[in-house]
Amino acid sequence: MKAAAAATGRPLVGNRRARFQYNLLETFEAGIELQGCEVKSLRAGQANLQDSYAMIQGGQAWLLNLHISPYPQGNRQNPEPTRSRRLLLHKREINRLAGQVAQRGFTLVPLSIYLRGRHVKVELALARGRVTYDKKQLLKERDLRRDADRQLRGRGA
């Protein structure tokens, strides 16, 4: 049963707030370089993507501010919880993302961390920040849709 769930790529950790705060233009899948017991902590869901972001520096992609709690059964060599972690992308992907982030003012936001087989993957999005009135408009549209669905269900019952 575990193998079936791992093959589907079920999310271990998600960042729902990012979908509200940013306009997501394009998504990417990247591997992540982890140490020691970090994978066990991730499998237990002991991570937080809320304030994390990715950046391109020195020709490599890095994930910053991802908090992975120390594994309780780990030893004293548990890595620091908020250390920078390298993302595994092809060189051409890194160059393309670096150009878009630098020229157009986009940012790289992690959306979720999941398992693909036995590998841990990060779903990244190329995103632009939403303005306050865009957020209000989104909430208004969501409420209108919800009200319309309620009325349709009320008549059909």
Q: What is the pLDDT of residues 44-79, one digit of tens each?
A: 889 999 889 999 999 999 999 999 999 888 777 788
CA distances from 77 to 35, 80, 84, 102 (A): 10, 9, 16, 37
User: pTM of the prediction?
Assistant: 0.78
State the Cα–Cα distance between residues 83 and 145, nearest whole angstrom: 41
State the Cα–Cα distance between residues 33 and 108, nearest whole angstrom: 17
CA distances from 76 to 35, 45, 57 (A): 13, 21, 30
pLDDT digit string, tens, across residues 87-123: 999 999 999 999 999 888 799 999 999 999 889 999 9
Which domains are delineated in the chain? 2-130 (2.40.280.10)
Q: 13 burial class (0-12, 13-18, 19+ CB within 10 angstroms)?
A: buried
- Residues 99 and 73 sit within 8 Å (Cβ to Cβ): no
Q: What is the structure's pLDDT at 9?
A: 63
